[in-house]
Structure 1
């Protein structure tokens, strides 16, 4: 029996609600727009559009995946970030709006950098959302994007091609692939894994079951990667270069303490997101760090 947009949305929203999906109408509309290759205006203005049998079949297949807990982004394989479109699939962290605060902070800082080329390292690039956004919005940038995951890098490379971003991709653990780097960096930026190990099992099923643990697990207290990054970044940053880190809830003060203990950072700042949560910590390498560098 033929079904139109209004009827299939009503039926799918009812099914999603019964299965405790938090945003049933939004999810159903996003999936339907993706399958029909139309925008929301079309959905609103063509309520009597009759789906083909194949469109209906594919729509319900996607709805059942959503009921199982698969994130909408993995179902449609897309996510918007910083006004750009990114391909995502299981095995790579879904870019979050919160991370835009990190990117915007770096872009703003770069505006005042008086240098011909701004050399940037994105540690743990994942889908490439941070590195590609910085490449697109900082015109005189040269960007390294580094990740341990081969799959993440393959997805990031795909996104770089789609967004016409010239990025140098490297595979390895933290700074190791750049151990022989001759020219220092202006910026080191990272959204590292920061969820305490025991907290992962309390996360929404969409996150704990489908998103990569490698991109979530920050160790016993969630700070493992911050300790390493704060300690090692001074080996790679230019004098007055920027270290910019996204942090988890209630982690900002602890990351600030790590920077102070290291002793070679200044201008340390905590930056809040739109919800008033301290989401980003930044600092610059001070001149005295030249004599206080510890090998990785």
Structure 2
């Protein structure tokens, strides 16, 4: 018996809802669009159209994976960020809309400068979302992207190719500042990072999509979630030029303590906390 688009969606939404997922209708629509290679408008304008049997089977298979907790981005292997398209797969953190606040503020700061050339370092490549976005939107920028994960670096390079910024990006394997030594001391205009900031003991309390599927290396910020901030705040003054910017994404309750770290370190000025659209302090930035 033929299955209409609207009926397939309704059944899928009912099943996803039972998992307490936040956006069951959107999830179902995105997955069906992926199967049909159509946009969401097509689903509404053709809701009474019968699906092919093979499309029903493919859709049901994707819904099963979603019910198991796999994030939609991993299923369809793509995620939009800063109006750019990124390839994602298991093993790299999925770009979040929250992180756009970090990127937008760096772009805003860069526009106040008259640099012919701007050297940017992104600590923690992930999918390459921050690196690629800054390379794409900041004129005359060259972005060094550092990650411990070779897999993340490969995905970052892939996204640099997809978004045509290979010539102004360089992906380096290593632990934070290690690959930058003897190369970029006091030469960096902007240091940006969205480091792991989840306290170790809280990881098991996260949504199943995160704790089961996203890489723990990109989540685990140590006992209190602040390990990477301590290291970055301490070492950044060795690499960032006087007058340069350090911009860090932080967890929902970490802005005050990261700001205090910068104050106590002694090399930072104009320290600011920046809120996201929900009013949460999401970014701490300062100049050297």
Could you tell me which runs of 5 or more consecutive residues in structure 2 were left unpaired when the two chains were aligned. none
In the TM superposition, residue 50 of structure 1 has moved relative to its aligned partner by: 2.1
Could you tell me which runs of 5 or more consecutive residues in structure 1 were left unpaired when the two chains were aligned. 286-296
- The correspondence for 1:271, drawn from 268, 274, 278, is 274
**CA deviation string 1:125-184 (max 9, x = no partner):** 100000100011101101111111011111111111111112111010001001011560
List structure 1 runs of 4+ shifted beyond 6 angstroms. Answer: none
CA distance 1:87–1:182, change in 2 (3 Å)? closer
Tell me the equivalent position of 1:79.
79
Equivalent position SS for 1:209: helix
Question: What is the distance in 2 between the residues matched to 1:74 and 1:54?
Answer: 21
Tell me the equivalent position of 2:27.
27
Tell me the equivalent position of 2:208.
205
Alignment check: 8 A CA contact 2:184 2:239 kept: no
Equivalent position SS for 2:50: coil
Question: What is the distance in 1 between the residues matched to 2:19 and 2:252?
Answer: 28
- The correspondence for 1:239, drawn from 230, 237, 242, is 242
Question: What is the distance in 1 between the residues matched to 2:58 and 2:34?
Answer: 11
Question: What is the distance in 2 between the residues matched to 1:143 and 1:99?
Answer: 17
Alignment check: 8 A CA contact 2:118 2:141 kept: yes
Asked if 1:172 is matched to 2:169, the reply is no
Describe how 1:274-293 pairs up with structure 2 within 5 A. Answer: 274-285=277-288
Question: What is the distance in 2 between the residues matched to 1:69 and 1:180?
Answer: 44
Q: How many positions carry a matched residue from both structures?
A: 285
Alignment check: 8 A CA contact 2:33 2:39 kept: yes
**CA deviation string 1:10-42 (max 9, x = no partner):** 111111123333321111001011111111111
Q: TM-score normalized by structure 2?
A: 0.97
**CA deviation string 1:39-79 (max 9, x = no partner):** 11111101122222221111101101111111111111111
In the TM superposition, residue 114 of structure 1 has moved relative to its aligned partner by: 2.1
In the TM superposition, residue 2 of structure 1 has moved relative to its aligned partner by: 2.0
CA RMSD in angstroms comes to 1.0
Question: What is the distance in 2 between the residues matched to 1:131 and 1:69?
Answer: 28
